[in-house]
Chains A and B, each alone.
Chain A
């Protein structure tokens, strides 16, 4: 079983749609959680951190359920520019932690 699992997609949605990505992690010692965005042939860029209380940044909402070891990202009112691969990222351990990347979910937003 992979340490961080994501639905690979691709998700094809029209502009304005709401889309949700799911992610599960296997290591209960995971300490911190993030969603990154990666455009084709580019480096990953931090989209947002994920907190147990849930957090929102504009059209993006992230949720964490530690009991279920589950992370989600919701994108509302999708834009063409949201087309990218979304990576679920988990840090395991403290101090010298290890970062585990999910394989990513590909999103295509079409006009």
Chain B
């Protein structure tokens, strides 16, 4: 149980275009989803926290107009990287927390984004 999927697993796009990444909880309802970014040889950095049906809370330094997050249902959250630039190339990982699970979160397999 507690499986989280992400789609796509990797994507290459041109500078200036937008890319949407989906995060789904397959066998549980995720009231909270987290989006992380990881650059090579660095740790995961939390970008934002989203609760179903409400606006996402962004971490300091993360542009909310550039990284659009939608958590419209209990099983799906999307991250859209708008007007992507090469410096946005990174490994994006989502995680999901089940209702009433206070501490444990389940990670998706990640999406590797390369902006050319």
Could you list which residues of chain A lie within 8 angstroms of chain B, going by C-beta atoms? 31-32, 41-46, 49, 87, 91, 95-104
Closest CB of chain A to B29's CB: distance in Å?
18
Given A99-B34, A102-B43, are A44 and B91 also a contact pair (CB < 8 Å)? no
Complex Cα distance, B93 from A50, in Å, reads 23
* Least CB separation from B44: chain A residue: A101
Q: How far is the CA of A64 from the CA of B43 in the complex (A)?
A: 21
Q: Is the CB of B112 within 8 A of A41?
A: yes
- Cβ-defined contact, A32 with B103, below 8 A: yes
Interface-centre pick from B34, B36, B42, B44 (highest chain A CB count, 10 A): B44
Complex formed: what's the CA distance from A49 to B101 in Å?
Answer: 14
B46 CB–A CB distance under 8 Å: yes
Contact B109 A97 (CB under 8 A): no
**A101 and B93 alpha carbons, distance in the complex (Å):** 13
A43 touches which of B42, B102, B107 (Cβ 8 Å): B107
11 A-B interface contacts by CB (under 8 A): A41-B91, A41-B112, A42-B110, A43-B108, A44-B93, A97-B103, A98-B49, A100-B46, A101-B36, A101-B45, A102-B43
B44 contacts A44, C-beta separation under 8 Å: yes
CA distance in complex: A79, B36 (Å)? 30
Query: Are B43's CB and A103's CB within 8 A?
Result: yes
Chain A residues near B44 (CB-CB < 8 A): 44, 87, 101
B40-68 interface with A by 8 A CB criterion: 42-46, 49
- Min distance, Cβ B32 to any Cβ of chain A, angstroms: 8
Kindly report which residue of chain A lies nearest to residue B59, judged by CB atoms. A98
The reply to whether B105 and A99 contact each other, CB–CB distance below 8 Å, is yes
Closest Cβ–Cβ distance, residue B110 to chain A (whole Å): 5
* Cβ contact of B103, chosen from A41, A91, A103, cutoff 8 A: A91
Using CB atoms, name the residue of chain A closest to B32: A96
Q: Which listed residue (A43, A95, A101) contacts B110, Cβ 8 A? A: A43
Residues of chain B lying within 8 A (CB to CB) of residue A49: 103
Q: Which residues of chain B are near A103, meaning CB under 8 Å?
A: 42-43
In the complex formed, the residue of A with least CB distance to B42 is A103
